[in-house]
Structure 1
Amino acid sequence: MAEFTLDELITVLKEAAGADEGIDLDDILDVPFTDLGYDSLALFNTVNTIERDRGIALPDETVVEATTPRLLLEAVNLGLAKAA
């Protein structure tokens, strides 16, 4: 299965949790989700959407441990690799 990309993550974030118009989502890999305006509920919705769309199950702690887009991408891509 193809790697989950930052562009895909940004799309899912916007769909699942919206986007603050004042936040630039271009260079966000290492910016904490809280600084981007996303709380744990928004991340929960995002992870659920990714799991549903990609047909994977991520560990429950993903929402807590993946505090930046880079960490979430790593978790998703690890889940995809395990599912393959």
Structure 2
Amino acid sequence: MFATEFTLSDLRTILLEAAGTDENVDLDGDILDLDFQDLGYESLALLETAGRIERTYGISLDEEALSDARTPRLLVDLVNAHLPAARAV
């Protein structure tokens, strides 16, 4: 069964599982519009995060679109844009 919505809470959980967190970063704070690099996540950590999202939610994220998703808000929106397509399959 596929999820109907990917939330910031879902992203926080996957980020912590995939790459942990910098001790100076509060993922529970207002992070929606902060750049992932400012949150301490480099490209390798984001690739691992994207892989977990794809496996968990049964979607495929385009690499170019993924590289453009520089903030949690953009990544959540990207994942949610793919969820209806996954349910239709």
Q: What TM-score do you get using the length of structure 1 for normalisation? A: 0.94
Give 3-state SS (helix, strand or coil) of 2:32's partner.
coil
Does structure 1 residue 82 correspond to structure 2 residue 89? no
Deviation at 1:22, TM superposition (A): 1.3
- The runs of at least 4 consecutive aligned structure 1 residues that moved more than 3 Å come to none
In the aligned structure 1, how far is the partner of 2:43 from the partner of 2:19?
A: 10
Q: Following superposition of structure 1 onto structure 2, how do residues 49-68 of structure 1 map, counting pairs within 5 Å?
A: 49-68=52-71
Contact 2:69-2:75 at 8 Å conserved across structures? yes
Q: Please give the TM-score of this superposition, normalised by the length of structure 2.
A: 0.89
Q: Aligned ranges for residues 14-25 of structure 1 at < 5 Å?
A: 14-25=16-27
CA–CA distance in 2 between the matches of 1:54 and 1:67?
20
Identity of matched residues, %: 56
Letter in 1 for 2:65: T
Paired residue total: 84
In structure 2, runs of 5+ residues without a counterpart are: none
Greater Cα radius of gyration, structure 1 or 2: 2
Find the aligned partners of 1:37 and 1:52 in 2 and give their Cα distance. Answer: 23
| Counterpart code for 1:20 | D
Q: Which residue of 2 aligns with 1:28?
A: 31
Find the residue that maps to 2:25 and give its secondary structure: coil
Structure 1 residues not aligned, in runs of 5+:
none
RMSD (CA atoms): 0.9
